[in-house]
Chain A
């Protein structure tokens, strides 16, 4: 019973959404609207679930003094600080419990929440994304090694596209006559990106979309139920 109810719900809601896609008449549109409304409500409550999980997992590790417990404590403190300053003085134009906090905002230049967001959180988050540049460099160093015909082709393409995406590209091939525009590096890069690359992307997208249809059908019909836990 515990398993069958979710399966029945998945079947009914899945079929209703599919049908309402093709039948615009009342009440199908309304059913879809109601289901999407429910999804938004459930999603909102799920945020609370995440916070509870975060707090309990971190507290357990700190209490048990498990390995590297200090990091979990730092996480908890950061969480508490952001929630507290947000609740007390709000953020941007939204007031908090203690109002807009004009005096503290005058000292810091902005509200405490916005101050921490802008000067602590933003640089940290950007740093994480910036790591991508380093990892791309090290991965490219390992990946584009000539071993056979295919890898040779891959490397030549990579060189054209990488160079074509820089500001040097225009200068390097500007001497090529206009009748041979396609040989200009930026043009050649665009050609590679728009035709061979897009063709391959489309092929993968189409096959993945068929996979999505198959998976959805299996879920709606209750053939695939691993995501609910357990097999047959």
Chain B
């Protein structure tokens, strides 16, 4: 009986101690490149401040975190993988009596997969697989329907008008650098436009904001003139750098529109606050204007002041539409599949959230 009582007392004592257990642990930060550790602590209510410390190169403990919470965690980054790191947590009591010192250590490890990005990977694989499937089926001769994009159909009309009037065509490839896919999409359209303008013997002016864009634009236009069999008509000086400065560039382009009076203006690529200044100047000169951007906030300005506007994805579809290359047309079908997938996921997400199943949304939010 005494033995049972002893066990009961020990158990009670353990429960009471465990109930107020104060924990501090260091663990490897999950699914990263081995450059971080996660420090977690749980303190009893008598503590009101803390100091998280780690030794410097001389072995002296220095504080690097002091935001108090009863139970919390802190990420220590910029660490070297597979190296042991020591930490010390000092928790101070509210009545300034004994402080508590807890220690922990761990090694950050490199992981082979960023699990927080699993949802992105799945979506990427599904969409890319769909695009590749449609490219493959287009290659096998399947007829693919693509709806009319009047902004692109008008290209020939615009070039024809410029030729009739004996005026040049102005092409602005956005104000973004070459690392923006919108700029590359614009250069793809420029290639087709340059080919047509070479056929019609019409001058093409391409002012560039960035040197990298300038270099790519020159190569694109030169190749198009070569393809059209008119390399002698290619004029490198018509594709030039203006300035990196946003509104300095706009002033330069506006000046060209007012002086050269181009018969057709194309504004394709990424645009910001300058979009309306460019297109309203073009409107003032009476040019036929086509614009397109993936920046949703600038589309209203283009719609108001241009004759034709490519909205969002139409800019990226333009090259495929103009070339009628079955491989590229196939990839457009893949986009459509992606859209369908997104619509389904949104609807499913709404249902899941209403049903209170938060894991679905959390899975797609992902993490680092």
Q: Which residues of A contact B (CB under 8 A)?
A: 18, 21-26, 29, 39, 42-43, 46-51, 53-54, 56-57, 60-61, 67-68, 71, 124-125, 128-129, 131-132, 135-136, 138-140, 142-143, 200-201, 204-208, 210-219, 223-224, 226-232
Determine if B33 and A25 form an interchain contact, defined as CB atoms under 8 angstroms apart.
yes
Among A22, A42, A214, which residue has the most Cβ atoms of chain B within 10 A? Answer: A214
Given A29-B33, A229-B222, A211 and B313 touching (CB < 8 A)? yes
Q: How far is the CA of A46 from the CA of B187 in the complex (A)?
A: 18
Query: What distance in Å separates the Cβ of B99 from its nearest Cβ neighbour in chain A?
Result: 37
Chain A: interface secondary structure?
A: helix
Residues of chain B within 8 A (CB-CB) of A131 are 277
Pair B240/A53 contact, Cβ less than 8 Å: yes
The one of B274, B296, B339 in contact with A205, judged by C-beta atoms closer than 8 angstroms, is: B296
Judge whether A223 and B331 touch: CB under 8 Å: yes
Shortest A14–chain B CB gap in Å is: 12
Q: Report which of B135, B181, B221 forms a contact with A215, defined as CB distance below 8 A.
A: B181
Let me know if B211 is at the binding interface, CB within 8 A. Answer: yes
Chain A residue at minimum C-beta to C-beta distance from B109? A25
Distance to closest chain B CB from A213 (angstroms): 6
Q: What would be 12 A-B contacts, judged by CB atoms less than 8 Å apart? A: A22-B113, A24-B32, A24-B110, A26-B110, A50-B210, A50-B244, A53-B240, A54-B240, A143-B304, A210-B313, A226-B191, A226-B323
Closest A residue by C-beta to B278: A135
User: What residue of chain B has the Cβ atom nearest to residue A18's Cβ?
Assistant: B124
CB-CB under 8 A from B334, the residues of chain A are 214
Query: Are B316 and A214 in contact, CB atoms less than 8 angstroms apart?
Result: yes
Cα–Cα distance between A142 and B187 once the two chains are bound (Å): 32
**Complex-state Cα separation, A23 to B112, whole angstroms:** 5
Q: A67-B259, A129-B273 are in contact. Are A230 and B211 (CB under 8 A)?
A: no
Q: In angstroms, how far is the closest chain B Cβ from the Cβ of A27?
A: 10
Question: Which residues between 218 and 255 of chain B lie within 8 Å of chain A, taking CB atoms?
Answer: 219-224, 226-227, 237, 240-245, 247-248, 250-251, 255
Chain B positions within 8 Å of A47 at CB level: 211, 244
B280 and A224 within 8 A (CB): no
Known A-B contacts: A24-B112, A204-B312. Give 18 more (CB < 8 A): A39-B179, A46-B215, A50-B241, A57-B237, A124-B251, A128-B250, A139-B301, A140-B304, A142-B304, A208-B313, A208-B316, A211-B316, A213-B335, A214-B335, A215-B319, A217-B128, A217-B331, A226-B191
Could you tell me the distance in whole angstroms from the C-beta of B300 to the nearest C-beta in chain A? 9
B327 within 8 A of A: yes
Q: How far is the CA of A132 from the CA of B177 in the complex (A)?
A: 23
User: Are A204 and B296 closer than 8 Å at their CB atoms?
Assistant: yes
Which chain B positions have C-beta within 8 A of A200? Answer: 296
Closest to B295 in A: A208
Cβ–Cβ contact B214 & A132, under 8 A: no
Q: Which residue from A50, A132, A140, A211 sits with its C-beta under 8 Å from B211?
A: A50
B302 CB to closest chain A CB, in angstroms? Answer: 10
Task: Give the distance in Å from the alpha carbon of A198 to the alpha carbon of B113 in the complex.
Answer: 34
> Judging by beta carbons under 8 Å apart, are A230 and B325 in contact?
no
Residue numbers in B under 8 Å from A24 (CB-CB):
31-34, 110-114
On whether A224 and B312 interact (CB within 8 A), knowing A24-B31, A50-B214, A204-B296, the answer reads no
Q: Choose among A57, A132, A216 the residue that contacts B181 (Cβ–Cβ < 8 A).
A: A216
Complex-state Cα separation, A46 to B212, whole angstroms:
6
> Max chain A CB contacts within 10 Å: which of B81, B187, B255, B276?
B276
Contact A125 B245 (CB under 8 A): yes
Contact A208 B296 (CB under 8 A): yes
Which 10 A-B pairs give the minimum distances between C-beta atoms?
A229-B223, A211-B316, A50-B211, A24-B33, A211-B313, A128-B247, A46-B211, A226-B191, A208-B294, A135-B280
Q: Mark B299-330, 1 if CB is under 8 A from A, else 0.
A: 10100110000011101110100010101100
Nearest B residue to A216 via CB reads B181
Cβ of B146 within 8 Å of any chain A Cβ, yes or no, is no
Least Cβ–Cβ distance between B207 and chain A, in angstroms: 10
Say if the beta carbon of B79 comes within 8 Å of chain A.
Answer: no
Decide: A54 and B241 in contact? CB cutoff 8 A.
Answer: yes
